């Protein structure tokens, strides 16, 4: 009877032991799943951040490579520290040598407005100073210096007479500023101010009004620059925060891995000890000749096994609790990072879409056109399927602006953008190239078919006049059409279509010409 009870007790402890092994294996699987999720998050965040700054890309690539190797924890921690240092030491965009190129172009233009004058010498001195300090150039300071120089009286060296700032060709400067504003991505909170400046620059201005408008334009561009820098600083702060969290998660993962490894060693030792004692019991029972010594031996062995299992269970419970606590912390951190990652992805998507859209018509802008043309050109070079380009230009657009106002001009562009989009296929591409010009890319379309489509659209636009201030506004449009040829590049394709558009204008407008 006693032996039967002892056997039941042994089986009971064995069940507990095997149950503890199952629980530990479940914890191991849970840890591996968490580690896999963490690795994916690190890899995707690194992939999303690539291209933000060229100095950070090498660190991000090495972090991605190390994440793929679960045996490189120490190297990953070191690389995260290196990434943090690089992020903290990123210099401001104002130190970029490209900034000097922008200043140099501006000085070239301004110097042309002051030939043989004291301003020319002052501008040349300013250029030499900017060239000497181009690695630490202050754009705002240079722009203010240029403004102060241009506001001074102009002394011509040939006649020594005094001229005033109104001698500058304000129309040329206005056009240059309009091009600059058109090519600049205007944040939403500066849209009204930019629209007002564009309207001011499009009308004739006297010297005093022009100087005020010029100052407002410079201030607006500087404010937009500061706004972009502040957005970049926000992204830098976010990336820095993510880096610190990744480093902390790496420490937790390393600790959990160490605990798991230690548990495996302890479990193996317990297995060996229990197996040895069970073997000793088996041999003792086979060789026993008397019952009492055998009972005492079994009792002693069972007490030893029970004590070992109990100690192991206590130690394993403690380590399991520690591991569970680390996993909970990691889960919390991962959830926070996932939320921040979604927010950043959403903001980046909005910024990307905004950068590729024309704010007035909602069509893709010139930057989006450049990207799409490169894609279509690569597809043509591979498959040789037809690709046709159409360049559209609104007839007498300046006259519409001057006669009916800029609101009528904007409405004209919006109407034409809608008609171009609604009368082509989903696979076709329509963009506002700039000003009153639009561009179409028609894949899998020969120039003969494109001409039929263009004539249809031209006729529709001809009938799409509207009223402005009680007056009827008639709208017509001309276009140049050309097809991609074997010897073409994107530049020659555009030039041929542009030449065809010029021919359409020369033939009286409101027509389509194939080039």
Catalytic (active site) residue 436: yes
Q: Does residue 235 have a pLDDT over 70? A: no
Q: Tokens representing 206?
A: 């006297």
pLDDT computed for residue 469 by the predictor: 81
Q: Does residue 495 have a pLDDT over 90? A: yes
Cα–Cα distance between 91 and 163 in angstroms, integer?
43
Candidates 79, 316, 376, 436; catalytic one: 436
Q: Does residue 286 have a pLDDT over 70? A: no
Q: Does residue 164 have a pLDDT over 50? A: no
In 3-state terms, what secondary structure has residue 142? helix
CA torsion 308-311-317-322 (nearest 10°) is -120
The more confident residue out of 70 and 87 is: 87
CA torsion 173-171-200-370 (nearest 10°) is -60
Report the percent of the chain where pLDDT is more than 70. Answer: 63
pLDDT computed for residue 408 by the predictor: 92
The lowest-confidence range among 184-198, 359-373, 486-500 is 184-198
Cα–Cα distance between 201 and 217 in angstroms, integer?
10
Q: Tokens representing 216?
A: 């407002």
pLDDT computed for residue 322 by the predictor: 78
pLDDT digits (tens, 9 = 90+) for 192-204: 787 877 777 777 6
pLDDT digits (tens, 9 = 90+) for 15-65: 766 677 777 777 777 777 767 767 777 766 766 666 566 567 777 777 777
- The C-alpha angle 91, 94, 96, rounded to 5 degrees, equals 75
pLDDT computed for residue 167 by the predictor: 45
Residue 473: pLDDT band (50, 70, 90) is: very high
pLDDT computed for residue 94 by the predictor: 41
**What's the half-sphere exposure (Cβ side, CA atoms, 13 Å) at 51?**
3
DSSP state of 357: B
Mean pLDDT of 214-221: 79
Residue 156: pLDDT band (50, 70, 90) is: low
Cα–Cα distance between 20 and 267 in angstroms, integer?
10
Mean pLDDT of 230-245: 66
Mean pLDDT of 353-380: 90
pLDDT computed for residue 211 by the predictor: 75
| pTM of the full structure | 0.43
Cα–Cα distance between 172 and 241 in angstroms, integer?
48
The more confident residue out of 187 and 496 is: 496
Report the percent of the chain where pLDDT is more than 90. Answer: 26
pLDDT digits (tens, 9 = 90+) for 414-460: 999 999 999 999 999 999 998 899 999 999 999 999 999 999 999 99
List beta partners, residue 394: 477
Helix (H) or strand (E) holding 430: strand 429-434
Domains of the chain with bracketed CATH: 2-90+237-350 (no CATH), 366-514 (3.30.70.270)
Nearest CA among 239, 252, 251 for reference residue 84: 239
Question: For residue 128, which phi and psi values (nearest 5 degrees)?
Answer: -60, -40
**Bridging pattern class, strands 512-514 and 477-483:** parallel
pLDDT computed for residue 131 by the predictor: 62
Nearest CA among 494, 420, 495, 483 for reference residue 451: 483
pLDDT digits (tens, 9 = 90+) for 374-417: 999 999 999 999 999 999 999 999 999 999 998 999 999 999 99
Q: Tokens representing 225?
A: 């620059």
Q: Please report, for residues 248, 318, 323, 465, the alpha-carbon distance to residue 32 in angstroms, rounded to integers and kept in the order given.
A: 18, 20, 12, 67
pLDDT digits (tens, 9 = 90+) for 80-122: 777 777 766 664 444 444 455 566 667 776 777 666 567 777 7
pLDDT digits (tens, 9 = 90+) for 54-64: 567 777 777 77
CB 470 within 8 A of CB 502: no
pLDDT computed for residue 166 by the predictor: 43
């Amino acid at each position: 009877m006693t032996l039967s009870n002892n056997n039941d007790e042994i089986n009971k402890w064995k069940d507990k032991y095997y149950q503890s092994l199952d629980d530990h294996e479940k914890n191991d699987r849970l840890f591996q799943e968490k580690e896999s999720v963490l690795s994916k998050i690190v890899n995707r965040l690194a992939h999303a951040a690539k291209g933000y700054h060229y100095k950070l890309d090498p660190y991000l690539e090495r972090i991605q490579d190390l994440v793929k190797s679960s045996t490189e924890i120490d190297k990953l921690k070191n690389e995260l520290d290196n990434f943090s240092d690089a992020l903290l030491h990123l210099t401001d965009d104002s130190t970029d040598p490209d900034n000097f190129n922008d200043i140099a172009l501006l000085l070239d233009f301004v110097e042309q407005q002051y030939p043989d004058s004291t301003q020319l010498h002052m501008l040349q001195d300013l250029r030499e100073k900017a060239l000497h300090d181009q690695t630490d150039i202050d754009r705002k300071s240079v722009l203010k210096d240029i403004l102060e120089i241009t506001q001074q009286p102009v002394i011509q060296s040939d006649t020594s007479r005094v001229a005033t700032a109104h001698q500058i060709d304000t129309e040329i400067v206005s056009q240059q500023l309009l091009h600059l504003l058109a090519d600049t991505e205007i944040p939403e909170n500066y849209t009204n101010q930019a629209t007002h400046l564009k309207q001011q620059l499009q009308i004739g201005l006297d010297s005093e009004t022009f100087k005020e408008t010029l100052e407002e334009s410079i201030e607006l561009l500087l404010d937009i620059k500061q706004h972009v820098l502040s957005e970049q600083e926000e992204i830098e702060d976010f990336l820095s925060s993510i880096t610190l969290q990744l480093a902390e998660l790496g420490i937790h993962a390393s600790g959990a891995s160490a605990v798991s490894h230690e548990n495996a060693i302890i479990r193996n030792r317990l297995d060996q000890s229990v197996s040895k004692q069970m073997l000793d019991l088996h041999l003792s029972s086979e060789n026993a000749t008397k019952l009492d010594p055998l009972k005492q031996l079994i009792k002693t062995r069972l007490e030893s096994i029970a004590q070992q299992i109990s100690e192991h269970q206590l130690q394993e419970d403690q380590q399991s609790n520690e591991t569970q606590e680390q996993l909970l912390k990691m889960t919390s951190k991962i959830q926070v990072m996932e939320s921040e990652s979604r927010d950043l992805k959403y903001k980046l998507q909005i910024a990307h879409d905004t950068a590729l859209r024309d704010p007035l018509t909602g069509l893709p802008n010139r930057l989006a056109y450049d990207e799409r043309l490169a894609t279509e050109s690569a597809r043509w070079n591979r498959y040789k399927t037809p690709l046709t380009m159409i360049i559209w230009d609104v007839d007498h657009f300046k006259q519409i602006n001057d006669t009916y106002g800029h609101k009528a001009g904007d409405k004209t562009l919006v109407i034409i953008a809608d008609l171009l989009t609604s009368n082509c296929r989903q696979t076709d591409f329509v963009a506002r190239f700039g000003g009153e010009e639009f561009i179409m890319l028609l894949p899998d379309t020969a120039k003969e078919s494109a001409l039929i489509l263009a004539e249809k659209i031209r006729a529709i636009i001809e009938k799409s006049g509207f009223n402005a201030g009680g007056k009827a506004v008639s709208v017509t449009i001309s276009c140049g059409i050309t097809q991609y040829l074997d010897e073409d590049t994107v530049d020659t394709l555009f030039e041929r279509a542009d030449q065809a558009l010029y021919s359409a204008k020369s033939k009286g407008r409101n027509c389509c010409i194939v080039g």
